[in-house]
């Protein structure tokens, strides 16, 4: 009789799990699931951050290419000089570039342009924004009383740096005060700083041609 009872207990133990074993198994499964979810969430956040950074950089590059196209076709006269001014703001480069360009709106509408259709274009950084001004008064860079068009090209801009290549001296300059000729090439640099990422600098070279 005792032998039959012992055999029955052995079969019962082999047939199922105890409550403790079930709790341990559930706890282990929960821990593993939490680790997998945390890893998946971290990976997803990293991928999304990478995509956002790539999108931002592509946007900046597109802006720089448009700027480069306009600069490449820029003009200068003795009355309306081509000017590159070196500057800083909050310890970071904040340069100003001014030149004559054809009125793009007029070209779009009429597909033609005359000598008198040129405008004064000014690129500069104001705080964390890259701004393009179109000034009707071609003689000045700083007259705030004149009427002008203003377009914000980018935000979260930490630095805007422009350098100019002097073909005659074969050196890169931080400014361009020469009113009698144009630089051979221009290097545009924009550093943008978003709260969730490290600073990133995008560059674009512009060849203007012989002076």
In the predicted model, is pLDDT for residue 135 greater than 90?
no
Question: In this model, does residue 129 exceed pLDDT 70?
Answer: yes
* Segment 46-97, tens digit of pLDDT: 667 667 777 878 888 898 998 998 898 888 777 778 889 999 998 999 999 9
Which of the pair, 162 or 38, is modelled with greater confidence?
162
CA-to-CA distance for 49 and 151, rounded, in angstroms? 27
- Mean pLDDT over 119-130 rounds to 91
| Biggest CA pair distance of the chain | 120
Residue 139 vs residues 56, 115, 149: alpha-carbon distances, Å: 35, 16, 16
Instruction: Determine phi and psi for 52, rounding to 5 degrees.
Output: -65, -45
**pLDDT at site 112:** 42
Contact 83, 99 (CB under 8 A): yes
Q: Which residue has the higher pLDDT, 147 or 78?
A: 78
pLDDT tens per residue, range 172-199: 999 998 777 889 999 999 998 887 778 8
User: Does the structure show a pLDDT above 80 at 13?
Assistant: no
pLDDT at 49: 64
Higher pLDDT, 74 or 131: 131
What's the token pair of residue 208? 């203007």
d(CA 145, CA 158): 27
Give the C-alpha separation, 188 to 152, whole Å: 17
């Amino acid at each position: 009789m005792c032998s039959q009872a012992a055999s029955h207990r052995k079969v019962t133990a082999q047939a199922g799990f105890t409550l403790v074993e079930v709790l341990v198994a559930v706890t282990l499964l929960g821990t593993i699931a939490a680790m997998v979810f945390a890893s998946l969430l971290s990976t997803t956040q990293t991928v999304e951050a990478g995509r956002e950074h790539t999108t931002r950089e592509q946007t900046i590059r597109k802006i720089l290419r448009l700027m480069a196209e306009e600069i490449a076709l820029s003009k200068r006269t003795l009355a309306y000089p081509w000017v590159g001014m070196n500057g800083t703001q909050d310890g970071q480069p904040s340069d100003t570039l001014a030149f004559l360009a054809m009125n793009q709106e007029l070209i779009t509408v009429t597909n033609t342009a005359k000598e008198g259709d040129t405008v004064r274009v000014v690129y500069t950084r104001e705080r964390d924004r890259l701004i393009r001004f179109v000034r009707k008064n071609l003689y000045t860079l700083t007259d705030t009383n004149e009427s002008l068009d203003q377009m914000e090209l980018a935000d979260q801009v930490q630095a805007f740096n422009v350098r100019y290549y002097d073909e005659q001296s074969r050196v890169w300059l931080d400014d361009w005060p020469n009113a009698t000729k144009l630089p051979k090439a221009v290097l545009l640099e924009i550093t943008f700083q978003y709260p969730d990422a490290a600073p990133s600098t995008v560059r674009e070279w512009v060849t203007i041609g012989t002076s």
